[in-house]
Amino acid sequence: MNNTFIQISSSLTELVSLTPNLLMMQAAETVDAAKEAFLNASNIWMMVCTALVFIMNLGFASVEAGFSQTKNTVNILFKNAITPVLGILMYALMGFNLMYPGFGDTPGWFGFAGWSLVLPENGNTSAYAASGGYTYYTDFLFQAMFAATTATIVSGAVAERIKFSAYLIFTVVFVGVIYPIMGSWHWGAGVVASWGFHDFAGSTLVHSVGGWGALAGIILLGARKGKFVDGKVHTFPASNMALGTIGVFILWLGWFGFNGGSVLSSDPGMTSLVLVNTTLGACAGAMGAFILALILNKTYDYGMVLNGILAGLVGITAGADVVTPMEAIIIGLIAGLLVVLAVKALDALKLDDVVGAVPVHLVCGIWATLATGIFGEGMDVVAQIKGIAVYGAAAFGGSFIIFTALKYTMGIRVSEQEEIEGLDKYEHGIDAYTTSK
């Protein structure tokens, strides 16, 4: 009996001693499984967002083609088709490694991690990203879409009079060098990030940078023939408002990926907040533009409402993660008012922006960044102002230099005859629309 009792006691003692180890092993396995599940869910969400941002290229193409004249439609579509092609290739070749050079503990102004894409040792695991939410290749592709979008902003502003070849060269340099270097200052953990500057999804890094490039372009190109005559502003007829409408709603849809993907994971709480704020900002922007345009123009200005939607989207992009839904409405409403005033200001200054890219992306991008400092919890307004100033000087200065170099070498503007008869005929040899005789 005693022997049996001793054996049972020994077995129980051994079991008790093993139980903590077993529990620890099971806990570790559970944690690993949870990490893997979160990685899979987040990586899928990031790839969906990547696709949504990619389809924004179609939105920009539709808006620009719809708002410009029929005789330049192929030219507009061609630029919007070739921009993501060039942008993604340049970003893969050098841009990604310029934007994320790995500054380490010493934030810098410039760094370069090497040519092309090289999968790091932990690139396909949750150890790659700080959030554990995506892999190296997903990270590249998502960021590449942002790079291409930045150059697309310039396309609409300089439409109907820029040489196609000049635009291509500008895009290569802008996306391959200027944008990623400036992106490294904040998203690449560079100097601007160390100031406490906050730009969640790119109101400054994407929209204002593109807007500054657009402003440099329209200054050096000059206005289209007949735009400003005898002190009056002549409005050229839009080729297809239905196409423009489709483009705006494609962009709105794409913005769910633009902002939603910037959470950098499938975190349910933060993703939901960001998407709600994005939607409310767009709606409020539309109403702000609608009301002010009605007061100033004494008409229901549909074009202003469409730009108001985009203004509200740009306006909420910098702080969508740090403001409340009610604050998002205020920010979007003010963005809608600003876009109307900015269009009026450009006309007064005789600056010709075909689609309103400067009012939407530059003016509202600046407001968005400032509003983040005003409304965002724990944000630093001074840091926001410093960031706006630095990015403005660099983006406008860099773009102005590129356009100036092109202007005095190969030229950036088509001939008067080409402009009058249409770029489709002279640059591409085809018409966008045909009619049977």
Three-state helix/strand/coil letters over 246-270: HHHHHHHHHHHHHHHHHHCCCCHHH
pLDDT of 287 above 50: yes
For residue 92, count other CB atoms closer than 10 A to its CB: 17
Measured CA to CA, the distance from residue 201 to residue 146 in angstroms comes to 9
Length, in residues, of the chain: 437
Measured CA to CA, the distance from residue 353 to residue 59 in angstroms comes to 18
Share above pLDDT 70 across residues of the chain, in percent, rounded to a whole number: 91
Instruction: Report CA dihedral (404, 410, 411, 414) to the nearest 10 degrees.
Output: -150
Q: With a threshold of 0.85, does the pTM exceed it?
A: yes
Of the listed ranges 19-33, 222-236, 326-340, the least confidently predicted one is 19-33
Of the listed ranges 223-227, 234-238, 338-342, the least confidently predicted one is 234-238
- Residue 382 tokens read as 């001074």
Q: For 179-190, what is the mean pLDDT? A: 95
Q: What is the DSSP letter of 378?
A: T
Residue 32 confidence (pLDDT): 59
Distance of CA 121 to the CA centre of its chain: 29
Question: Domains of the chain (ranges plus CATH)?
Answer: 50-102+120-428 (1.10.3430.10)
Q: What are phi and psi of 155, to 5 degrees?
A: -55, -45
For the chain, percent helix, then strand, then coil, each to nearest 5? Answer: 70, 0, 25
- Residue 218 tokens read as 């329209």
Instruction: Give Cα separations from 120 to 107, 135, 280, 359 (angstroms).
Output: 22, 10, 39, 41
Q: How confident is the model at residue 126 (pLDDT cuts 50, 70, 90)?
A: confident
Name the residue type at position 344: K
Measured CA to CA, the distance from residue 215 to residue 221 in angstroms comes to 10
- Residue 8 tokens read as 């049972």
For the chain, the average pLDDT equals 91
Give yes or no for a contact between 112 and 101, defined as CB atoms under 8 angstroms apart: yes
Q: What are phi and psi of 65, to 5 degrees?
A: -65, -35
Give yes or no for a contact between 224 and 352, defined as CB atoms under 8 angstroms apart: yes
Q: For 33-52, what is the mean pLDDT? A: 85
Measured CA to CA, the distance from residue 428 to residue 68 in angstroms comes to 17
pLDDT of 271 above 90: yes
pLDDT of 335 above 70: yes
Give yes or no for a contact between 285 and 332, defined as CB atoms under 8 angstroms apart: yes
For residue 12, count other CB atoms closer than 10 A to its CB: 10
Q: What is the DSSP letter of 232?
A: E
Q: For 354-371, what is the mean pLDDT? A: 97
Q: For 1-6, what is the mean pLDDT? A: 57
Of the listed ranges 21-25, 53-57, 101-105, the least confidently predicted one is 21-25
Give yes or no for a contact between 362 and 214, defined as CB atoms under 8 angstroms apart: yes
- Beta strand residue intervals within 175-231, DSSP E: 228-229
Residues 6+ away with beta carbon under 8 Å from 345: none
Instruction: Give Cα separations from 43 to 40, 47, 123, 134, 262 (angstroms).
Output: 5, 6, 12, 5, 12
Residue 437 confidence (pLDDT): 46
Question: In DSSP terms, which residues pair with 233 in a beta bridge?
Answer: 228
Residue 40 confidence (pLDDT): 84
pLDDT of 420 above 80: yes
Give yes or no for a contact between 387 and 372, defined as CB atoms under 8 angstroms apart: no
Of the listed ranges 116-130, 181-195, 304-318, the least confidently predicted one is 116-130
Angle at Cα 384 formed by Cα 379 and Cα 389, nearest 5°? Answer: 175
Cα(first)–Cα(last) distance of the chain, in Å? 112
Measured CA to CA, the distance from residue 183 to residue 95 in angstroms comes to 10
Residue 286 confidence (pLDDT): 98
Q: For 37-45, what is the mean pLDDT? A: 86
